[in-house]
Chain A
């Protein structure tokens, strides 16, 4: 049989393969000519020949992402559990307590430990079961496989290496496939990798020409190729192999490989239980625009590249939990101290004079007075087991449970964070960080897709001194709401046109109505300018409905779209002409096709900030149309008609303060002689060899002057809904928001204005690399020199600004500060020598905007603040370029519901909209923080109190380590008698309602200050624990030292049962005292816990148990038969809680927390009506409806800032690529590139 030797050799190599493959995988992958497969690690696959492959025993295609199986569950699960220090500690204690050293029976520690382990294991098992079900669903998904001469559906798991499969459109790739044939011509297929790299454009894969024909089943069955390829590895972008077909060896490249679906695998790996649902909801995860493809399976199951790519993202722990570790350490310290005191006491106490202790000569070491050191050591160990309850064993498991429910039931199901349009609820992808959300001080936000929708819409314009457009921006709406403006109902004009890039409503201009305006000629010029002066390419059918515009920046597309809707439809561009279908100037309803000859295009760049087109009308008129930033246009206006200029300037400012991006439009009529003479110079400049750009710019200056102003446009860089108000709320909450964006500085500042991150009252510090000095240096091209100069200038700036900032800080009412820095400067500012200064400066600023930053820099900035300032940070973003930032910050939030999944995958929480951040932080985060703090402090309190009581008792037992409580009391104290109420508290406690939390965002500052888990707070709890334990011990022991009415006396166990009863009652009541809100579940759990104790003791002491010691027999009945029991039970809890009660009252009265004041202010308001109202509003007003606020109500603040549109990071490279020049992609272009692609139509099948 063919291939025997090869099979043999490859089998012999298998053993070595593992070690060598890893080193091989980075080697170059494509070689020309006949390539010998790289020995030693390669596999030979016989396509369509299961028998041949059978000998090699490739792994099957079934995957298993479960952690355990039936056999390994117990050992492995237990091992995982004992990796936790607390559990390990208790295991040690349990072992110790089986020795005679121990004063307590093993029950004391074994029972709580086993219960804790049981709960954890059940949780693990449940999760693993879910994963198993997911695996099963995936493994049983069906795929068409060639068997004989027809496609047969088999489940994925039955798939084997070498099989020929058919994948249909929108289908998943069941394994790594070698792409053989496609229904598309040229053997190409399109695959979507959005989930892999965040790019939404389709990727093309091309099959080898040799295999194009194997498409139909009968043809494919003839395919008998042999694939020699590398061993499975995790390199996603490389593939080395050969296809031997018809005795010909053809090298294979990654281009012929279709990888098993990424999302699915990643989700499974990250243990997302709803992976499949999610994928079904997606618009198809893999094969696109292709009817079906045929491929041969090369890697299966766990050997597929994505599965081998299992990255273990280290799980984050919350800051609070790390603080908790410190508390636990402190408790260990206390434990040590207590044991030390006891052990010393014991060594001193032990003496033969106490003859009744039977300290004979052969007494065991622990009580041997001859060796007091041994007594010390052994008693120390004894006491450790006795006092082990000081470490709250069930704390971790309780917190875990609470957080799990918080995230799955509260965060994931919050209707306030459900986005109806994208059908996306919020999703907590980890339950570790709930309380971290309540302490965030810095938010790092991406711009595009997070703050903005990356959607430019023509929104308003000013033509000849008249403002058109009735819409209201988010920012205006926010301002109106703040000043108490009323929300009217939208009055949409009939026949309102709303399409991508156009969101303009004003009947005066629409449908040709502009002809009736006072200045129709200006309008005409305005529209023509929009239709002609641009560099947009039309694509698709030449009809207004179907055409799409391909533009370097979305602004441009929006302007051209606007022109189209106003009746100046640009539909074709040829190298020299622009064709516009204009609505007839005189006759309504008629159109005429006009062709304008484009004489020159004076391109946009960031120094010119304008763009001009010189065109010749069909009638010979030569006009220069120019559009650009107001500053540059105003400089170049003809010196007439100042009135129009002033009015337009006012409009510009008005637009600017509304957060709109503005452009001024102007034109200039040129006489042909003037044009000709200029054109000569222009051509000369164009053809010059040195400094061409500079010269062209200079020549352009000559003609771009004496312009006539037409008007200006205002484009809305559409913010996500509710962003400004959310940002405002968050900043009131004491959270500082930094925008980190790949955009240009102008854009970034513009958005910062639009989001009300920056306003004109702020002092802006700008550190930019766009200075003349730096530019000159860059022109000279000496990289070392450039670096030095930038560094110096950054250093100088930082120093200067820092001094200034400190000066402002000293003054009482200095302005708020804002820092704007660009990526290049940031690179140097992040240098270790300047880092401290940068940090210092930026921490003093209310808002910081970093523009043109790379993904890496985003992460660096986040970790600068995280590590340098030790503040709690949150990153929010939507794209692949935000992943590093999301992972670097304490909390990563991904924007979900969009196409890219990468950010969500890396995130800890996923929400659909930026504005949900206020719910996530101010409501859920704050509550979680409050609750977890309470839970921790309560645990601390109850265990300390309990243990201290034992400690006091030991002073009176000759430090012998005698237990005060029965074994079962001690073991069930934590897990039964006091376990549930604290969980209820952790779930339901609510200081102020959700509505108030958002109404008073400042309440959040208590979390930032960590007001509820400070040393002082813990200290106070410790103090009252101390007090209460003394009360428990001394009150009970003193009052019980007397005889009862029957003259009889109580014994040790009567006293201890009494004390324990008091402790259980008190500790449970203490919980009620610390609750901010009490639901019926509180009563049930607190009552239930106390009841559980009584039930337990009734049963426990009611029977004689076959044990050596029946100390508790009948004790509770004896106790309850005395009046003393009732008197003590009334006295002790009240006396014990007295201190806490006074403290709480006084604290609330004289030193109230903010939330307490808010509680008081609103205490007579029924909470539910308010929350229901919120719900009724439900889906917030749609953007259209919301535009109904009366403009007149708006406070018209003047803005010095007029945002200017028309810049975009992709701009230069766009033109360069149009001209056929390759411009290296910059890192920060990735997101934009992806988003540009998004607007492009799906790649049509090439014909």
Chain B
């Protein structure tokens, strides 16, 4: 009976011992392997190599970062008339009043020569663009194609205005930042701000549709922020794109524009701004930032410092270990350190 299964067994291993397992490196667990042992030498070498690689990178990054010139000015309080500054409610009242004069001037001094392009950023604090309710409150479909206008299910409560779908819908677009800046150099030359090319290309070309025009935007009861020119398609509304690439942290900068003009040291830049955006409700801060950029980007010492620190610690440890190694050779390779040799007796 059941000749089939036994025949299989028989045919696979003919001879006396049909049950003898076949030899294979895998089943005998003899696959060729290297044994990476963290010997002191290896540890020291690894640390040294890391040090050698990291410290130069760190120095390069740090110096690059140091070369970046950055001017930053906080203005949210100063741009409120004195009379409204005392309480939060006053500030809110001021900012929400469409009649109040929101113009404001800030003066910046260029500390060092700044090579063009000079990037203009606005920086907000305590603004949770990464809040769950906020992040998802948009409709990529709607932004992309004119046909999906009514695809606003994620956009509540900013999905419909007067029964019509809002384009672009959602809280993100609704709360669009709308302070504006214009710059004058040394009181007489006005600096043009180039506001094209401030968004990522992929956003421009794919995520925001060419045929999609703002509709019913900011027409609801409550105005969240800036409005959009309804005759310009979304694919050209770069401020919106920048704003809608939500920031990771509650403190973030967003690119406002570029000044394609070299600034000299001690130049005085006058910023005329319209202080439209309400950060007073949530005690936010606003800054305007002018910064150059080089191969590493904007000013960011962190990478350089981190590289130097890690590299430095590695070097330091390599030295320590070397000293230890020379002073007190390893316990390894010495059978007398085996636990059963050091403390005899039952287990």
Contact = CB atoms under 8 A, between A and B. Distances in A.
A1113 interface: yes
Given A1107-B140, A1109-B136, A1161-B335, A1048 B296 contact: no
Contacts of A1138: 310, 313-314
A1157 B5 contact: no
A1131 B5 contact: no
A994 B31 CA distance: 13
B298 A1109 contact: no
Given A1051-B245, A1051-B248, A1145-B40, A1122 B157 contact: no
A1117 interface: yes
Contacts of B138: 1109
**Interface range, A side:** 35 or more
A99 interface: no
Interface stretch (B74-82, B211-219, B249-257): B249-257
B338 A1002 contact: yes
Contacts of A356: 127, 134, 171, 174-175, 224-225
Nearest to A988: B31
A1118 B205 CA distance: 13
A1077 B29 CA distance: 12
Interface in B273-290: 278, 281-283
A1142 B29 contact: no
Interface stretch (A413-421, A502-510, A820-828): A413-421
Given A1005-B339, A1045-B296, A1075-B36, A355 B130 contact: no
A1153 to B, nearest CB: 9
Contact of A1046 (B293, B302, B332): B293
Contacts of B334: 1157
A4 interface: no
Contacts of A1150: 331
Given A356-B224, A957-B132, A1043 B119 contact: yes
A414 B57 contact: no
Contacts of A120: none
A1048 B21 contact: no
B248 A418 contact: no
Contacts of A1079: 31-33
A1047 B136 contact: no
Contacts of A281: 6, 19
Given A1044-B293, A1122-B297, A1154-B340, A962 B132 contact: yes
Given A1042-B298, A1124-B296, A1159-B35, A1108 B40 contact: no
A1171 B258 CA distance: 70
B113 interface: no
Given A958-B131, A1041-B249, A1142-B317, A1123 B174 contact: no
Contacts of B119: 1043, 1047
Question: Which of B131, B140, B347 has the most chain A CB within a 10 Å cutoff?
Answer: B131
A356 B296 CA distance: 33
A1040 B306 CA distance: 13
Interface in B138-191: 138-141, 144, 151, 153-154, 156-158, 171, 174-175
A81 to B, nearest CB: 29
A277 B9 CA distance: 8
B297 A1043 contact: yes
Given A363-B157, A1041-B251, A1106 B9 contact: no
B226 interface: no
B146 to A, nearest CB: 15
Contacts of B140: 1107-1110
A121 interface: no
Contact of B128 (A418, A958, A1171): A958
A987 B42 CA distance: 26
B246 A1052 contact: yes
Interface stretch (B99-107, B196-204, B227-235, B263-271): B196-204
A961 B18 contact: no
B110 interface: no
B226 to A, nearest CB: 12
A28 interface: no
Contact of A1005 (B127, B291, B347): B347
B5 A276 contact: yes
B46 interface: yes
Contacts of B295: 1045, 1123
**Interface range, B side:** 35 or more
B202 A1118 contact: yes
A1069 to B, nearest CB: 12
Contact of A962 (B46, B131, B346): B131
Contacts of B314: 1138
Given A355-B224, A1045-B295, A367 B249 contact: no
A1148 B332 contact: yes
Given A276-B2, A1114-B206, A1118-B200, A354 B131 contact: yes
B337 interface: yes
A1141 B43 contact: yes
Contacts of B5: 133-134, 137, 274, 276-277
A310 interface: no
A132 interface: no
B153 A1160 contact: no
A1134 B54 CA distance: 10
Interface in A1038-1095: 1038-1052, 1054-1056, 1072, 1075-1081
A807 interface: no
A891 B254 CA distance: 65
B48 interface: no
Given A360-B157, A1039-B300, A1104 B144 contact: yes
Contacts of A1181: none
A49 B22 CA distance: 52
A1034 B192 CA distance: 37
A1117 B202 contact: yes
Contacts of B9: 274, 277
A27 interface: no
B340 A1043 contact: no
Interface in A569-597: none
Given A988-B29, A990-B29, A1078-B33, A1042 B300 contact: yes
Nearest to A1047: B119
Given A1109-B154, A1152-B331, A1076 B35 contact: yes
A1138 to B, nearest CB: 6
B135 interface: yes
Contacts of B43: 1141, 1145, 1149
A953 B247 CA distance: 12
B6 A960 contact: no
B6 A277 contact: yes
A1008 interface: yes
Interface string A730-742: 0000100000000
Interface in B295-311: 295-300, 302-303, 306-307, 310
15 contacts: A137-B2, A277-B5, A355-B282, A415-B23, A957-B250, A958-B131, A960-B131, A962-B130, A1005-B347, A1047-B258, A1052-B248, A1127-B57, A1148-B332, A1154-B340, A1161-B335
The 4 A-B residue pairs whose C-beta atoms are closest, nearest first, are A141-B1, A1114-B202, A1043-B298, A1042-B300
Given A358-B156, A1168-B32, 13 more contacts: A137-B4, A353-B283, A356-B224, A382-B132, A1039-B302, A1043-B253, A1044-B293, A1049-B247, A1055-B248, A1108-B139, A1148-B38, A1161-B335, A1163-B35
Interface of A: 103, 133-134, 137-138, 141-142, 172, 274, 276-277, 279-281, 351, 353-358, 360, 362-363, 367, 382, 409-410, 412-415, 418, 420, 423-425, 734, 846, 927, 953, 956-958, 960-963, 988, 990, 994, 1000, 1002, 1005, 1008-1009, 1035, 1037-1052, 1054-1056, 1072, 1075-1081, 1104, 1106-1110, 1113-1114, 1117-1118, 1122-1124, 1127-1128, 1130-1131, 1134-1135, 1138, 1141-1142, 1144-1145, 1148-1150, 1152, 1154, 1156-1161, 1163, 1168, 1171, 1175
